[in-house]
Structure 1
């Protein structure tokens, strides 16, 4: 005779799912906060030049990006010469004025003087195109211009 008797099969208690909605909403909130939405997809090669002294700009909503460089491999049909990209499309020099006007129209009146045109230019792009972009920006009164670089030694 054994001292211990086996009772009938005991069922495991049910798992409580009361905290499951809390966990789901906590994960949802985390991913909503941590996810970065892409503004535009690049259609050009954009190997930025290096600079030793760099600083980050303040409010990202006050920056309008102008990209310049040779078309990327999937857009080789556009040619080999450097192109300008505004938002998600290739553009001509004369379209820069309309781009700046649209960006200004989307901002509050107090923010318009603080708008910065950030040029993200491939380091292989010739200076003539950059100068033409600057001239177009001057014509529309956009005098705050920033050249975006990557951190590193400027002498390389």
Structure 2
């Protein structure tokens, strides 16, 4: 007979939590890489026109977005039903375009300021007058590289009958 007897317990062994921090950091890294950050909250209706000669831009960090269209239904009480300009997250007047573009340009790194491009996202039912005024302000701000955003499709769908 042995002097010491090992008592067997019916309990389950403790779960090892040594690898838990690794798993948490791996998930955190995955979600940081996979998440797309929202640029601007649209306050206007923006149905883009269609075109068949569409090219995808290689670098979006050089772009400044300007939206033109009618206010969304929840903003029509405040801004009316005529075409408006959205700069960033607020509806602005044409006279603020130059200041907005210069502020965004100055916030960019110096090496890409010359490559800055303004992307106009204009609703397909908008009037040309508002767009012409914006383009004149862009000329005054020396923002001469302009991109019109469109969806790929049949351009004949843009023609109203």
| 1:81 has 2:66 as partner | no
Q: 1:11 corresponds to which residue?
A: 11
TM-score (norm 2): 0.88
Aligned match of 2:112? 111
- Cα separation, 2, equivalents of 1:63 and 1:55: 15
Q: TM-score scaled to structure 1, two decimals? A: 0.90
State the number of aligned residues.
Answer: 150
Shift of 1:9: 6.2
SS at match of 1:64: strand
SS at match of 1:104: helix
Once the two structures are TM-superposed, the CA of residue 13 in structure 1 deviates from its matched residue by 2.1
Correspondence for 2:156: 155
Partner of 1:123: 124
Query: Which stretch of the first structure deviates more once superposed, 108-117 or 42-51?
Result: 108-117
> In the aligned structure 2, how far is the partner of 1:142 from the partner of 1:18?
55
Residues 91, 12 of structure 1: CA spacing in aligned structure 2 closer, same or farther, 3 A cutoff?
Answer: same
Give the root-mean-square deviation of aligned CA atoms: 1.5
Any stretches of 5+ residues in structure 1 without a counterpart? 1-7
CA displacement at 1:108 relative to structure 2? 2.6
Query: Which residue pairs with 1:52 in the alignment?
Result: 52
List aligned pairs for 1:141-152, cutoff 5 A.
141-152=142-153
Cα distance in 1 for residues equivalent to 2:58 and 2:143: 18
SS state at 2:155 partner: coil
Q: Deviations over 1:62-96 (max 9, x none)?
A: 10000000000110111010000000111111111
Q: Deviations over 1:12-44 (max 9, x none)?
A: 222222111111110011111111111210100
State the alpha-carbon separation in 2 of the partners of residues 111 and 119 from structure 1.
19
In structure 1, the partner of 2:100 is 99
Residue 29 of structure 2 aligns to a residue whose secondary structure is: helix
The alpha-carbon deviation at position 53 of structure 1 amounts to 1.4
After TM superposition, the structure 1 stretch with the greater mean CA deviation from structure 2, 10-19 or 146-155, is 10-19
